[in-house]
A and B are shown apart, each in its own frame.
Chain A
Amino acid sequence: MSTHEAVAPEHHTSTGLDNTKLAMWAFLGSECLFFGSLITTYLLYRNRVMSGPTPHEIYDIPYTSVSSFVLLMSSLTMVLALAAIQRGDHRGLRVWLLATAFLGLTFIGGQVYEFTTFVEEGLKLSTSTFGSSFFVLTGFHGAHVTVGILMLLALVGMSWAGRLDPASEGARKVELIGLYWHFVDIVWIVIFTVIYLVPTNP
């Protein structure tokens, strides 16, 4: 059994760090500001409900808890995908990436159902400032999850096509998309607590 080690190429940059990874972290830092602003806006407006249902009336905590759990577990499958490609295990990589995409799709399906239910109960984007800030915040988060799912599926396709060589940049690509995915999860950790669990006016 061959157990030789394939060493990924070093990156010769002025910082000694991988520039693409540095760029990803800079992007994620800017995303903190983006979501921070949206969360701040929501907190300002959530108690100003002139018409339509209030957060207290409309949120379904058990349902959202399950969605949160699903997204949290998708972070586990994502790191297991990274661990797989670091071992050179392409089959494991594809299995964990597909599992992550499936969990992400489950989360998005849950969000679509939640939005539909809210609209049926009288909360639309234009109903109140609470409705506007809620749908914009969670909608942007959902859009980020959707982009993440597309990138995961692209990775699966690249792996199938043999274009994710662990000895070169394959593991790095998986790690970068993994960072994005974990960030989306981290944002939901904040949204779930601050938006759903922290109590509002009854």
Chain B
Amino acid sequence: MSESQTSMEHVTDPHMADHPSPRKYVNVAIILAIVTAIEVAIYYVTALEDLLVPILLALAVIKFVMVGMYFMHLKFDSHTFRRFFVTGIILALCVFGVVMAMFFTRGGPSPLVGG
């Protein structure tokens, strides 16, 4: 089959039919770029020093969720895929929590914001 013929076909995979349009992908990318710009701008605002960590973490979560939901299609695909990924994230957070808890009980410096 020639390439010109192929390019005229519309491939329909039932599992991919619900994927967003290229325009939607571009819109998501614009939002991600704006959130990144806000992150960097906030880093230099001394008035927000006390709130810097929670704001940065919240913005990172927004970006993480948007890439996962739209670019990785977790919003549109089977929930089974989401469960696999979320399980990994929860286990990673458990490792983080357990290690930090052990570290704090030994009187180490705070891993977040100075120490």
Contacts and interface: CB of A to CB of B under 8 A. Distances in A.
Interface string B76-104: 00101100110111011101100110010
B107 interface: no
Contacts, number: 208
Contacts of B40: 61-62, 65, 197
Contacts of B29: 72-73, 75-76
A175 B57 CA distance: 29
Interface size class of B (residues with CB under 8 A): 35 or more
Interface in B24-61: 25-26, 28-29, 32-33, 36, 39-40, 43, 49, 52-53, 56-57, 59-60
Classify the secondary structure of B's interface with A. Answer: helix
Given A68-B36, A197-B39, A40 B95 contact: yes
Given A26-B84, A37-B95, A47-B111, A186 B13 contact: no
A182 B71 contact: yes
A156 to B, nearest CB: 14
Interface of A: 1-8, 10, 15, 17-18, 21-22, 25-26, 28-33, 35-37, 39-40, 43-44, 46-48, 61-62, 65, 68-69, 72-73, 75-76, 78-80, 82-83, 85-92, 166-167, 171-172, 175, 178-179, 182-183, 185-186, 189-190, 192-194, 197-202
B8 to A, nearest CB: 5
A2 B5 contact: yes
A26 B19 CA distance: 21
Contact of A37 (B67, B80, B92, B103): B92
A8 B13 contact: yes
Contacts of A32: 85, 88-89, 91-92
A163 B19 CA distance: 23
A73 B21 CA distance: 17
7 contacts: A1-B8, A6-B9, A25-B80, A29-B89, A36-B92, A76-B29, A179-B72
B111 A43 contact: yes
Contact of B63 (A31, A189, A199): A189
Residue in B19, B36, B88 whose Cβ sees the most chain A Cβ within 10 Å: B88
A3 B9 contact: yes
Contacts of B7: 87-92
B67 A73 contact: no
Contacts of A30: 88
B81 A167 contact: no
A36 to B, nearest CB: 3
B11 A166 contact: yes
Given A36-B95, A68-B36, A80-B25, 15 more contacts: A15-B80, A17-B78, A61-B43, A65-B36, A76-B25, A82-B19, A83-B19, A86-B11, A86-B16, A171-B11, A172-B13, A189-B63, A197-B39, A197-B56, A198-B52
B84 A198 contact: no
A199 B111 contact: no
A46 B4 CA distance: 55
